[in-house]
Structure 1
């Protein structure tokens, strides 16, 4: 099941957290090197995904996050250093607000998973993360410490005020927003640029990272001196890693090797399943919160695909301890 982002190369996808069967995708012309960006809101209720609305921006769009408070609000990250808030319920095709503060490309945005917080974190090529008040579009604080491009910043779904970030400086860092000028934990996660991270939805101490070395690693923040699991297999850089919202040790990754791989880090260091349905770099990846086994991705081949894990992988297998 797929739809086309004609002329635009996909960078990120995210299912709506609301039960409305919508998917957001952001993309950029000319592989994100130059040109415009687009935000697509896709209806996935039917067998074939259908683009419902499209919104244009003057520069490439690299990431997207849905509001955790209002079903029609999305936030996007742009190559011009700005962040845009959109309201799909309004007839206007323009953002409802534009947030300024970063000095270079914004590569990641994520809305807080703790509903009482209502903040957005962004990561930028200017080597900082910023916390934003989404109502006012104003910076609340700046997280400094990375000394290279910040590729991802992700709120913990279980710990209030806690963020994980990854960077070209080869580290995974964990932040307490009450102490924005110093990361609580700094982990030399890979011997390569670390492009992505995600939190386990069931264990507040577990984070996964993916890097240019093609490896996914799982970390227990209570003992960060060595990875909890190492998952090799991708032939090129891992662009995104996502934990399943339905199974504690299940995760997925996508890569510049054109593939998506499904893993169970408690069962094996080998991929459980590999999906190869793209002809270019796969950049975006997400699990459907409401339908177990349902996954979306997007790639530079100008397609967004929605698919299911094999039936044998839609039920959690028995876990064995890694040796």
Structure 2
């Protein structure tokens, strides 16, 4: 395992480059993101360990970072002052090449369109998701959620489909290819606290009930194009199939505190990583996601955990290249960890 110290700044998000297998971006904040500055790190994995390539100071905390899907040197951050900043790591100045300022509260997530590659999205505590083009100063579209929105993600298959999870315990899906009409492209609004599909299918069993809870993170499965994992304050990771929105397919339980980040593997259809306020990063299998276990009869389960963080683990991401298991995490202990998830699974 490799480690790097973001001294004086607590990590909020970590992201592998889609162009280079040895580059990682980290969004961090001073004073745990409550007040003060932020810092964007570009790190490189070398035979001597992790070394910083560049770092960029910001006037407010950074909560998320993503790489451009069309330019290998561009990094996008979301900030506590509601702004989004685009940096070019090929340039010497530490100033952003573009700033996008429309959110009225903290911009908590940003995500680049994985298929169209010419747009990105942001979500904010102001109750909106915004769609942007990096060449335009103003947003192209605003999608209201009317609640604090912690995470927005593009579908990895369909360029016009975007989802978000919010403090009102709902997963929303918009299809931007449809007429806006009165629904603002909204196609689905799934209650996250609904009873699992397996329970509702068997009325002989008592159906579990869950109170509404804040959803903090979600991610699309990279192989099953209709499956999404969602997690948040109640410590449970839920998987949904948008073709059957009545309730979750699987409940992955084990974290002791809120789950801050989930990420599906780019190499295996059933594996996902999670980072939690219980200071662990865990590897899970959803068993294949059909609600009855996988083709070999495997049931959802925890595969292993990484417990090197000594404060909240807030970010986790998979490497897209090379051996199918390398991952990175960050946390409030000012640590960035790079580890092999296959070692956690034995």
Q: Is TM-score (shorter-chain normalized) higher than 0.5?
A: yes
| Post-superposition offset of 1:313 | 4.2
Cα pair 2:69 2:117 within 8 Å, conserved: no
Q: TM-score, normalised by structure 2?
A: 0.88
Cα pair 1:175 1:184 within 8 Å, conserved: yes
Secondary structure of 1:44's counterpart equals strand
Structure 1 position 122 matched with structure 2 position 122: yes
- For residues 108 and 79 of structure 1, the distance between their equivalents in structure 2, rounded to whole angstroms, comes to 10
Secondary structure of 2:254's counterpart equals coil
Secondary structure of 2:140's counterpart equals strand
Secondary structure of 2:269's counterpart equals coil
Cα pair 1:233 1:270 within 8 Å, conserved: no
1:132-211 pair list within 5 angstroms: 132-144=132-144, 146-178=145-177, 179=180, 181-190=184-193, 191-211=212-232
User: CA offsets per residue over residues 182-241 of structure 1, 9 Å max, x none?
Assistant: 421111113210000000000110000011000000101111112111100000000010
Q: Which runs of 5+ in 1 are unaligned?
A: 315-323
- Give the structure 2 partner of residue 281 of structure 1: 312
- For residues 243 and 101 of structure 1, the distance between their equivalents in structure 2, rounded to whole angstroms, comes to 30
Q: Which has the larger radius of gyration?
A: 2
- For residues 135 and 46 of structure 1, the distance between their equivalents in structure 2, rounded to whole angstroms, comes to 38
- Give the structure 1 partner of residue 253 of structure 2: 232
Q: TM-score, normalised by structure 1?
A: 0.94
Q: 1:224 to 1:60 in 2, by over 3 A?
A: same
Cα pair 2:161 2:175 within 8 Å, conserved: yes
User: CA offsets per residue over residues 134-173 of structure 1, 9 Å max, x none?
Assistant: 12232000011x2321000000111121111100010111
Cα pair 1:232 1:269 within 8 Å, conserved: no
- Give the structure 2 partner of residue 317 of structure 1: none
Cα pair 2:230 2:238 within 8 Å, conserved: yes
1:218-297 pair list within 5 angstroms: 218-266=239-287, 267-291=298-322, 292-297=324-329
Structure 1 position 212 matched with structure 2 position 233: yes
1:105-116 pair list within 5 angstroms: 105-114=106-115, 116=116
| Post-superposition offset of 1:269 | 2.9
- Give the structure 2 partner of residue 318 of structure 1: none
Secondary structure of 2:189's counterpart equals strand
| Post-superposition offset of 1:28 | 0.3
User: CA offsets per residue over residues 269-298 of structure 1, 9 Å max, x none?
Assistant: 331101111011111110001131000010
Q: 1:94 to 1:189 in 2, by over 3 A?
A: same
- For residues 71 and 99 of structure 1, the distance between their equivalents in structure 2, rounded to whole angstroms, comes to 20
- Give the structure 1 partner of residue 202 of structure 2: none
Secondary structure of 1:310's counterpart equals helix
For these two proteins, the number of residue pairs brought into alignment is 312
Q: Aligned-pair RMSD on alpha carbons? A: 1.4
Q: Which runs of 5+ in 2 are unaligned?
A: 194-211, 288-297
Cα pair 1:214 1:237 within 8 Å, conserved: yes
